[in-house]
């Protein structure tokens, strides 16, 4: 059996490895370290949790043991897709380089540019960065990559998922052609294979496991979930999650719960806290200091449950995670492998349970096709009552003789107006005849009245002008009558 002492590493690096408690390298480490020490490009393909970080950290430290970095010109470069993974790599360098006089810088978002520039100006041997922040420093003129001797791309498939491939290609163009490249990935998508063919020179391919396979030490289960109503799916799903956690009992010492969306991360963490679970969220929208505190609390055992988005699926190295719960089936099947890879690390046993709703069945079929294994089904711990159909209304039909005639179908507006006019015409004619009769009776009454008045009144009033005629008009008629 190969031991670290057989790999021709720097004695000071070997001393740090022994103090860390390691003696035997993992398969990916045993395959990649000798080729990296010989100066060859390495293409490493291995599932998550197999020790890929140490497989490039240890040879890099041995190669950089001699020499000194110049200001703004790092001697090596490690590219990581997420802040958490970059921080983990930095911790590995601190662990294995404590007996070497090497400097490092961590360039990630959420940290002041000024503080990072101060470190770069002093000169660093190892530069660990995310692609975006690295290019920001380069465009500011604070970084020169022409002296990079060793370049590492870690979790390349995650770089592809996050859209970093154009940035990676640009960074490759900024580094010397004579550099040594160590390229690591859990899967080999066609785009990644194209990059390796373009930028790696006759690499040593080290593949220790079938692509996208989960560790055999991880017990995998799934609960096929169907909500009683669509608007209750979230609350019922969280109820199932709590029942699964309770069902594991003391075996669930700590756990990571993965959600697809950041909003679900916050809602799930808040719900667990409400029901008395020790839980906290972590995702990309949180402040970097808060993310760091949460991770440190989880690693230290002060926090039992970590609710995370896929930002934590890579680069979260907690050796003793007992359980992983997939609150959602991941959109990309490869992410399932990386999620459950947070448990069962370094040969330990672990358990992964997925909640699959009706809408996620196609994605879950893709997961089983990728890992080439049928995942065992678990019975839903919560009996979700299906939605009860509404009771039909009681028959309140009237007797046959009292049933109203069916209403006629709706007519067009012109037809309806014409029908209304026809129905109203007889009524108008009748009303007109009645008004005419009333007018005639009124006229005859007024005529009879005037005759009686004329017979009674023998004065000088003018006939036909009415009693209200002004007196000065009557005077003119009287004068003519007198003439």
User: The domain spanning residue 263 has which CATH number?
Assistant: 3.40.50.300
For 263-309, the pLDDT digits (tens) are: 999 999 999 999 999 999 998 788 878 888 898 899 889 999 999 98
Q: Do residues 260 and 190 share a domain?
A: no
Q: For residue 462, is it within any domain?
A: no
Give the pTM: 0.65
Q: Are residues 222 and 199 in the same domain?
A: no
Mean pLDDT score of the chain: 82
Closest to 328 (Cα-Cα) out of 212, 214, 222:
222
On whether residue 195 sits in a domain, the answer given is: yes
End-to-end CA distance of the chain: 160
Cα separation values, 440 from 112, 395, 446, 463, Å:
105, 60, 10, 22
Domain boundary among 378, 403, 428: 378
pLDDT category at 451 given cuts 50, 70, 90 is very low
Q: Classify residue 327: in a domain, yes or no.
A: yes
Q: Which residue has the higher pLDDT, 317 or 226?
A: 226
Does residue 466 belong to any structural domain of this protein?
Answer: no
Looking at 317, 350, 378, the residue that finishes a domain is 378
Most confident residue range from 32-46, 338-352, 377-391: 32-46
Among the residue ranges 3-7, 47-51, 383-387, the one predicted with the least confidence is 383-387
Whether residue 30 is found in the same domain as residue 67: yes
Domain shared by 151 and 181, yes or no: yes
Residue 153 shares a structural domain with residue 266: no
End position of a domain, from candidates 174, 207, 240: 207
Q: What is the pLDDT of residues 152-211, one digit of tens each?
A: 999 888 888 788 989 999 999 999 999 999 999 877 888 888 999 999 999 999 988 665
Residue 468: φ, ψ to 5°:
-95, 10
Domain carrying residue 163: 4-207
Same-domain pairing of 60 and 119: yes
C-alpha to C-alpha distance for 152 and 435, rounded to whole angstroms: 107
List strands edge to edge, sheet with 180-185: 104-107, 126-129, 76-79, 150-153, 180-185, 42-45, 204-207
**170 domain residue, yes or no:** yes
**In the prediction, which pLDDT does 475 show?**
60
What is the total count of domains within the chain?
2
Cβ-contact 116, 94 below 8 angstroms: no
Across 78-83, average pLDDT: 91
Does 152 share its domain with 12?
yes
The answer to whether the CB of 25 falls within 8 A of the CB of 3 is: yes
What is the pairing mode between strands 218-225 and 204-207?
unpaired
343: pLDDT strictly greater than 90: no
Does 352 have pLDDT greater than 90? yes
Same domain, 47 and 144: yes
Cα(247)–Cα(404) distance, rounded to whole angstroms?
62
Residues 232 and 370 in one domain: yes
> Which CA distances in Å does 79 have to 130, 153, 285?
6, 5, 21
pLDDT(453) > 50: no
In whole angstroms, what is the distance from residue 452 CA to residue 128 CA? 126
Same domain flag for 202 and 222:
no
pLDDT of residue 146: 93
| Whether 49 and 176 share a structural domain | yes
- Same domain? For 33 and 114 the reply is yes
Instruction: State the pairing for strand pair 104-107/42-45.
Output: unpaired
The arithmetic mean of pLDDT across residues 401-414, rounded, is: 52
pLDDT (tens digit per residue) in 71-80: 899 999 999 9
């Amino acid at each position: 059996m190969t031991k670290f002492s057989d790999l021709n590493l720097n004695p000071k690096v070997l001393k740090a490895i022994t103090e860390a408690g390691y003696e035997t390298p993992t398969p990916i480490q045993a395959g990649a370290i000798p080729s990296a020490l010989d100066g060859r490009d390495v293409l490493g393909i291995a599932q998550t949790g197999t020790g890929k970080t140490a497989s490039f950290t240890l040879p890099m430290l041995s190669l950089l043991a001699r020499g000194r970095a110049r200001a703004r010109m790092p001697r090596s470069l490690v590219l990581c897709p997420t802040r958490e993974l970059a921080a983990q790599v930095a911790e590995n360098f601190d662990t294995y380089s404590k007996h070497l006089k090497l400097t490092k810088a961590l360039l990630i978002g959420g940290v002041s540019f000024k503080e990072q520039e101060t470190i770069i100006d002093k000169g660093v041997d190892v530069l660990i960065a995310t692609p975006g922040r690295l290019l920001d420093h380069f465009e500011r003129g604070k970084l020169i990559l022409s002296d990079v001797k060793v370049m590492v791309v870690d979790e390349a498939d995650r770089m592809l998922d996050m859209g970093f491939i154009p940035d990676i290609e640009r960074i490759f163009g900024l580094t010397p052609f004579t550099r040594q490249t160590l390229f690591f990935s859990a899967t080999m998508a066609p785009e990644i294979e194209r990059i390796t063919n373009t930028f790696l020179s006759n690499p040593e391919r080290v593949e220790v496991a079938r692509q996208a396979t989960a560790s055999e030490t991880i017990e995998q289960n799934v609960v096929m979930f169907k909500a009683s109503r669509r608007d209750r799916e979230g609350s019922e799903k969280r109820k199932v999650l709590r029942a699964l956690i309770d069902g594991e009992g003391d075996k669930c010492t700590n756990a990571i719960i993965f959600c697809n969306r950041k909003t679900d991360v916050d809602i799930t963490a808040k719900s667990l806290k409400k029901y008395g679970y020790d839980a906290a969220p972590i995702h990309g929208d949180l402040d970097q200091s808060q993310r760091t505190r949460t991770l440190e609390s989880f690693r230290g055992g002060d926090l039992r449950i970590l609710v995370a988005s896929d930002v934590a699926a890579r680069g979260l190295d907690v050796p003793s995670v007992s359980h992983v719960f997939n609150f959602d089936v991941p959109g990309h099947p490869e992410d399932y492998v990386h999620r459950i890879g947070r448990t069962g690390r370094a040969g330990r046993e672990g358990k992964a349970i997925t909640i699959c709703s009706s809408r996620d069945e196609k994605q879950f079929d893709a997961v089983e096709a990728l890992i080439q294994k049928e995942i065992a089904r678990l019975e839903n711990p919560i009996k979700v009552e299906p939605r009860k159909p509404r009771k039909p209304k009681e028959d309140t039909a009237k007797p046959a003789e009292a049933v109203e005639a069916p209403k006629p179908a709706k007519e067009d507006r012109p037809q309806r107006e014409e029908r209304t006019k026809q129905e109203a015409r007889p009524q108008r004619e009748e009303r007109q005849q009645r008004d005419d009769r009333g007018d005639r009776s009124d006229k005859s009454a007024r005529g009879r009245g005037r005759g009686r008045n004329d017979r009674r009144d023998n004065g000088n009033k003018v006939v036909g002008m009415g009693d209200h005629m002004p007196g000065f008009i009557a005077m003119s008629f009287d004068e003519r009558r007198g003439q």
